Chain A
Amino acid sequence: MPSNISNPSQETNRAALLATTRSDGARKFNQRRHLIDTGDLTRDEVSSIMATAETAKHIIARDKSPLNLLNDKVVANVFYENSTRTRSSFTLAAQTLGAQVINLDINTSSVTKGETIFDTASTLIAMGADALIQRHASSGAASQLSNAVPSYVSVVNAGDGWNAHPTQALLDLFTMQEICGNVEGRKLAIIGDVKHSRVARSNIRLLTNLGVDVHVCAPPPLMPEGLSEMGVTTHYELSPALERADFVMALRMQLERQQDGLITSLDDYRKIWRLDHARMKRAKSTVRLFHPGPINRGVELTSELADDPSISAIHLQVTNGIPVRMAVLLLLLNSEDSHR
């Protein structure tokens, strides 16, 4: 079917999506202006994001043509760290909503000449950017940027240091809900380098608020201080963490951790913590495996496990990233009933 403005099904799709932006939770999230992390999102805000994402997913499953909902908006991807999936996912999400997308290539931009994140942001705002999607190696960079931008600009955190990666956590929740409906009371085991993981932190903050029983398993030097204060159960051994889990989330184990002496070796890590079919038997028979990517095949999980469609939800996570990011952008930027 050719896509154009007068496409009647596109009209219906737009109306359906816009309808999801009128709930109390959606309005509350819209007034927030920024998405920095998941910890202080209320249940109704989370529900509104999930509802919009669900509608978006149905629409793009049938028709990927632009929806002309954010035609007057410019979205800038500002990635100070390498990213393949998150950046592409945000780009597709913004374009599907009709927004124009600027992709700042950090390696060739003036950032390498020492420009600060605030100066870079000002330049993009001067070009008309309505939203800045920022990834930065320093924890707090998104929060600091959101405090510095003018009131008509939204900041979406696409990852800041070890601190937060809210859209990843939201797409993980969306995927879990797609699999099991309500996540309350379900057990999630997060396995691996939790200390350096913003994905783990954002998931812990989001999912503990929703009543998920979050367990964490990490080698002792990679287990952050005081994690139990965040409402999770901690383990050094894999078996009790996996026991009757509904979801298992493996994290990327980098060679760098061995070089820093935080693990004895990748082989030792494999011996104790690598996920495989045999070890996954401790979990529920319906268990699904998550991974934020990119995966290190054979290190944190076996190739067989990663590629087993009956267990692995990794591709589903990636697919769901687009409707979830569409929901975040639409809810933050849509000005239908805000005063911006």
Chain B
Amino acid sequence: MTTGKILLRRGLIVPPHQPGKGTKKEFHRADVRIADGVIKEISEELAEASDETVIEANDLWITPGLIDIHTHLRDLNQAGKETIESGTRAAAAGGFTTVVSMANTDPPTDTPRIFSIIKDKIEETACIRVLPLAAVTLGLKGEQLTEMAQLAELGAIAFSDDGMPLHNLAVMARGLQFAKLLNKTIISHPEDHALSKKGCMHDSQYATKLGLEGIPSVSESACVAREIEVVRAVGGRLHFAHVSTCEAIQLIKRAKEDGLSVTAEVSPHHITLADEDIRDFDTRFKMNPPLRSKRDQNQLVEALKEGIFDAIATDHAPHTKQEKAQAFASAPFGIIGLETAFSVVYQRLVKEEHLTINELIYLLTSGPASVIGLPDPALVAGSRADIAVIDPKRDWTYQTTKGFSKSSNSPYDGVMLSAKVVATIANGKIVYQDRL
């Protein structure tokens, strides 16, 4: 890890553009000087100082460090799956300089005491910024609210019971009221468990063919619909995690048109894979929400183009080999995604010409920042030196065996991807560097 002063030379700076506004592709070539954790200067040409580490970024893209608002870093009693140390190294390799870590840890992040333990671990072992969430309810049980005021004061960036939906709408309403008072977002995992039952993939002809129990789309959309009505009634900011269905998109679109503080994210896998890709009971394709139909997949991309989504988020969910080696129905939900996220969405959205690179970068930086109330991570002098350097021409094959995550549950293992993060600078330090 290199510290101190860095000069990024001759890179192409990619400013984020919000999708759906019809903006054109935009780059400008510049040198970037970094010291003391901040961007000191950005100018067309900067002279190299003797004590600087120089990164020749000729024709490489320079973007604000990516932000993932949906990461499961595990650690504590699940350190076999991932630790804050390994998870943030994986994030750095994917160009992320900030991750929001989920509260469904073991034990859950639901008390000031556990929150403080996690904060200390982050302080000691994270190589990038980790902003931990706190749970909305004790034990993620959906019954009693956590001590949200104290948790917010300790640094909880937002609140979520992710992994578990808040079935009791009265609890959701009170949670939103307190979160609003504290100026925080609640992140919802929209799912109706009674409709999902023991389902393990999208309810479709493909589930029928494999003899697997399905999770119907209405399990997500019905939950989105009723939670939107709670926001309409009590206010507050509600963010929908990992939206996967056409029906939910329409509900969120309307809620936004109605002026409600509702935001939404989509995952890289839901826009690149579908139920029909599940072959031979491969549990690397099992996650929740499940891979939906091809039609849903295409509608998610359309919604990204329209600007209905605020962010792309990984839902990085590590599980051990042994856990994933179980039968499809019994294996845990989730895949890892930090190291592949950028390349996967670049290929699907930019190469296939659905979005400009500027729009894609927005969905991985400014968009997610706004969801959780972070300042806009623009690359300007004086701002925090969180930067990703990307080689748009670099084709590469992802191999979990060479990755940084402790887990290998990825459907992209062995898949050829295009464009690669080649360096990541977090808080002014080089935290990841590939051959340039």
Q: Do A and B come from one complex?
A: yes
A interface, CB within 8 angstroms of B: 116-118, 136, 138-141, 143-144, 147, 160-164, 198, 201, 224-227, 229-230
Of the residues B203, B205, B216, B327, contact of A139 by C-beta under 8 Å: B327
Contacts beyond the supplied A144-B281, A225-B214, A230-B208: 15 A-B pairs with Cβ under 8 Å: A116-B325, A136-B327, A138-B326, A138-B327, A140-B211, A140-B280, A143-B280, A160-B211, A161-B212, A162-B212, A164-B211, A201-B208, A201-B209, A225-B204, A230-B205
B214 cross-chain contacts in A, Cβ below 8 A: 224-225
B280 cross-chain contacts in A, Cβ below 8 A: 140, 143, 147
- Interface status of B380 (Cβ within 8 A of chain A): no
State the CA gap A37–B207 with chains docked (Å).
16
- Interface status of B54 (Cβ within 8 A of chain A): no
B interface, CB within 8 angstroms of A: 203-214, 216, 280-281, 325-330
User: Can you name 29 A-B residue pairings with CB atoms under 8 Å?
Assistant: A117-B327, A118-B325, A136-B327, A138-B326, A139-B210, A139-B212, A139-B328, A140-B327, A140-B329, A141-B327, A143-B280, A144-B281, A144-B327, A160-B211, A161-B329, A162-B211, A163-B212, A201-B209, A225-B203, A225-B205, A225-B207, A225-B208, A225-B214, A226-B206, A226-B208, A227-B208, A229-B205, A229-B209, A230-B208
State the CA gap A144–B212 with chains docked (Å).
14
A136 cross-chain contacts in B, Cβ below 8 A: 327
Secondary structure call for the B interface: loop
State the CA gap A226–B203 with chains docked (Å).
9
Return B56 CB to nearest CB of chain A, in Å: 46
Task: Using known A-B contacts A224-B207, A225-B208, determine if residue A139 contacts B325 with beta carbons closer than 8 Å.
Answer: no
Task: Using known A-B contacts A140-B328, A144-B327, determine if residue A201 contacts B281 with beta carbons closer than 8 Å.
Answer: no
A230 cross-chain contacts in B, Cβ below 8 A: 205, 208-209
Residues A224 and B208 in contact, CB atoms below 8 Å apart: yes
Return A220 CB to nearest CB of chain B, in Å: 13
B209 cross-chain contacts in A, Cβ below 8 A: 201, 229-230
Closest CB pairs A-B (n = 7): A226-B205, A163-B211, A140-B281, A138-B327, A162-B211, A139-B211, A224-B208
State the CA gap A320–B207 with chains docked (Å).
31
State the CA gap A225–B209 with chains docked (Å).
9
State the CA gap A161–B208 with chains docked (Å).
12
B326 cross-chain contacts in A, Cβ below 8 A: 116, 138
Return A225 CB to nearest CB of chain B, in Å: 5
Q: Which residue of B lies closest to A118 (CB)?
A: B325
Return A241 CB to nearest CB of chain B, in Å: 18
B327 cross-chain contacts in A, Cβ below 8 A: 117, 136, 138-141, 144, 161
Residues B205 and A138 in contact, CB atoms below 8 Å apart: no
A116 cross-chain contacts in B, Cβ below 8 A: 325-326
Q: Which residue of A lies closest to B329 (CB)?
A: A138
Q: Which residue of A lies closest to B207 (CB)?
A: A225
Task: Using known A-B contacts A116-B325, A161-B329, determine if residue A140 contacts B208 with beta carbons closer than 8 Å.
Answer: no
Residues A140 and B210 in contact, CB atoms below 8 Å apart: yes
State the CA gap A136–B211 with chains docked (Å).
13
A225 cross-chain contacts in B, Cβ below 8 A: 203-205, 207-208, 214, 216
Return B310 CB to nearest CB of chain A, in Å: 31
Task: Using known A-B contacts A143-B281, A144-B281, A147-B280, determine if residue A163 contacts B203 with beta carbons closer than 8 Å.
Answer: no
Task: Using known A-B contacts A163-B211, A164-B211, determine if residue A138 contacts B203 with beta carbons closer than 8 Å.
Answer: no
B204 cross-chain contacts in A, Cβ below 8 A: 225-226
B207 cross-chain contacts in A, Cβ below 8 A: 224-225
A163 cross-chain contacts in B, Cβ below 8 A: 210-212
Residues A201 and B211 in contact, CB atoms below 8 Å apart: yes
Task: Using known A-B contacts A139-B328, A143-B281, determine if residue A161 contacts B205 with beta carbons closer than 8 Å.
Answer: no
